[in-house]
Chain A
Amino acid sequence: MSELKRDKNGRILFTKEMKKEYTILIPDMLPIHFNIMKNVFTHAGYKIELLDNDGPKVKQLGLKYMHNDICYPALLIAGQFLDALESGKYDVNKTALMIMQTGGGCRASNYIHLLRKALIKAGYDNVPIISFNLSGLEKNSGFKLTLPIVRRLLAGVIYGDLIMLLSNQTRPYEIKKGDSDRLIKKWTKELSNQFIASKGYSFAQMKNNFEKVIQSFSAIPLKKEIKTKVGVVGEIYVKYARFANNSLEKFLADENCEVMVPGLLGFLMFKVDARVQDFLIYGGSRLKYTAAKTLLGYLEKIESAFMEAIDKSRFTQLSSYKDTKPLVKGLIGLGNRMGEGWFLPAEMIELVKHGYDNIVCTQPFGCLPTHICGKGMVHKIKAMYPSANIVPVDYDTGATKVNQENRIKLMLSVAREKLPV
């Protein structure tokens, strides 16, 4: 049994011994991505379990142990963790939790601290929480993001984006129900196997894989049908996680829509770029600037390979990260870096430009950054692009599905007027 160690402020550490004995719980956000990424960690010797527990109890636990005015994602994630710990499925003396910590000016950077407070309140003060971040916040001897892991994770993100993009464009039209989901399963397994064999994440291998994945999705037989094209943007967690957005994608699918959800890579690039922009706007350490710029360059290179591969197919894709910047000129500054920042309105405009002019902008109720970059930009985007049909929707424990769906239905009614009959 691993010894419990704490740092000088009483934070319980995740030690090397724990790595062997402990199961790490991670709240799922994007099933495709996270399943690939889970396998990366498993291969590196961690015991990982993705949490997809849902339901009223999760919300209740969140409400009970978190400040009720905290953002919905924080509340849900805490609820998921606590529900899992209480479920009896895990030995609480051999379980650790892991969440992402961004370190920006938004409240999200504090989730981990609030979660810790919640765990103490609920009597789980011996459960270590691992901060997943690339900014060097909170170190743990038992958890290290080594270069091989980071490269695989990054590849996982990109494959996830690709598969999500392709399946979103095949699933609504498939003749044989389940074709797309079968392929998702197949590729998750195949790519994970490649990672285990130390393959699949070099530049050349990725290129190769891209083509194969695209080919396989291109081969799915589809029917010709006109569907309402809807883009989904918003705060990163409620945009992706079905727990948070009341299964928005399923609702839209049932409403006969084709959905486009921008991928994770763009957001990642936006976060890296924030440091580049900070330097350009305010000045600062040239070294940090160069490092961020190099990393951004690397990501851009992968992105362009990814985009080239799709360009050769019949699938629609959005612009490259770089090309989104001019879109927000005169709308919002590139210094807007907290939360989703300027990249959120950029995504909305991109969607409009690529034929997805019906947009659901998902926000947690009372989310501070999206007051500005979500809801706050809709008015002007509509003035710039009159065809834009955007509905901001708030998500919260108190907000009901019926109200949300009602608002989305209105957006869809307007959308359908424009559909050719």
Chain B
Amino acid sequence: MKTQIQNGRVIDPKHGLDKVQDVYIAEGRIVGLGTAPDGFRPDRVVDAKGLVVMPGLVDLAARLREPGFEHKATLQSEMHAAVAGGVTSLACPPDTDPPLDEPGLVEMLKHRARVLNLAPVYPLGALTSKLEGERLTEMAEVRDAGWVAFSQAERPVVDTEVLWRALQYAATFDFAVWLRPQDAFLGKAGVAHDGEVATRLGLPGIPSFAETIALATLLQLARATGTRLHLCRLSTAEGVEMVRKAKEEGLKVSCDVGAHHLHLSEMDLGYFDTHCNVMPPFRSLRDRDALREGVREGVIDAVCSDHTPLDEDVKQMPFGESEPGATGLELLLPLTLKWAQESKLPLVKALARVTCDPARILGIDAGHLGLNAVADVCVFDPEGWFKVSPETLKSQGKNTPFLGYELPGRVRYTFVAGHLCYEAA
């Protein structure tokens, strides 16, 4: 199948490209930009006039809910949501049930994803057995099972001795370790940022230093062990500063932020809106602004969806009993575009944070439109604003604080390895 995408504005952040031209795809790869290769005869021509043609998005955190949580969402529903959002590569945290701590489980997940023939899935392995923070998983044994990195998802390693050893062991084999900086004790009963709003609403708080204390520990251990450390879901201004310094020092660290954290703050909790119950919590406006600036400067490498589909039942509860998390795959591009517009950042720079930058962190050859690259392509309408509603979301989880918002960037076509996986109705 040969495809020609015509007259689109082609944006490829990795190569600094922003130009109206045609894209030629054959045998799953990009075979030409601007000029067709000799003898190219398209089987399909896609008219992209007025549309943006970009690499498919690479999402560093998408919970696909299998195995274990099929009642909340299924691999199938969420993979459809991914391509509907222009996402063509996904990393999945290991907090499934059972946790992804054995090669068999990872194999099965990858296989199930492959059968659907949508986007490739890159599972993160559990750093410790059952995520319990006590025993290391067999990291080296399974290097070929397709584990891209090791993570604890939402479960901090309580014992810093274990944490140290786990990082050492991972460093031995040059595995990356992805951790969300969160102290195991500080604010453990908390459900909201420890600040003015939580005080007013009477919600137990999670102080900012629950993040920065853990961050200090992780950075010290990364310095001591030389581990490649990826920090997940920063939420505080101080945290961004610490990562900036660590990078200046030359530590091998990278970090990401959830797309919703670029837009919302504690103020959005309103009257106990449980859709704003996310982890880490939405913090102050100052924190939110620091995150936005961090992404702009590149201190924060990537923006991810932190996709967590939930059923309405677990959100229709008192705030403190509701489950944290927001659905996000289909909002990753719109929220990134909204941030870019508001930050007055050119798309060719802004979109790096959802394409080539996360691909680099994942260590995969994706997220760009170079010649001979795998043809993962997202075509969207930059003027296509849409209202977020349960009906417009393909994900089984309709839980998002953005319900009712109008957002830019409706995806029109998504190609994965040259195969048209999604076409807007």
Judge: A and B partners, yes or no: no
- Interface of A toward B, CB cutoff 8 Å: none
Residues of B at the A interface (CB closer than 8 Å) are none
